[in-house]
Amino acid sequence: MAVLAYLASTDRHPTAEDVETAVNAGGPVLSRASVYNVLHSLARAGLVAGMSVKDGATRYDAYVVPHHHLLCRACGRVEDVAWQDFGVAERGVLPDGRAVRTLALTLDGVCTDCG
């Protein structure tokens, strides 16, 4: 499964178009529709996570353990932030020196009506 292998090999949080480009680098293998279908199937199976970011594109991540993300205002890169670092982020800087401008948390779950 080229799509999952690519996602597992990168920490760049690629878009579907990025995935398509990467898996087809050696020649056309998967159509854009096939890439989207595979990504949706992998997400339903819990093997990848999709997230929407401010640029409107859905980014994909094969690192599915609980964690947060930092969106760089300068370049748009999405980076992983470990849960244990989230409390530190409230102080404006992560342990590795990345600056935090705003702090937001999105919870994904099920409401009591759908429970």
Model confidence pLDDT, tens digit, residues 23-67: 999 777 899 999 999 999 999 999 999 988 777 889 999 998 878
Which 3 state secondary structure label does DSSP give 94?
coil
Closest CA to 60 of 87, 41, 83: 41
More confident residue, 77 or 91: 77
Residue type present at position 43 = A
Q: Which pLDDT score, from 0 to 100, does residue 67 have? A: 82
65 exposed, middle or buried (CB, 10 Å; 0-12, 13-18, 19+)? exposed
Q: What is the mean pLDDT of residues 104-112?
A: 62
More confident residue, 10 or 111: 10
- Which positions ≥6 away from 30 have C-beta within 8 Å? 2, 3, 20, 23, 24, 38
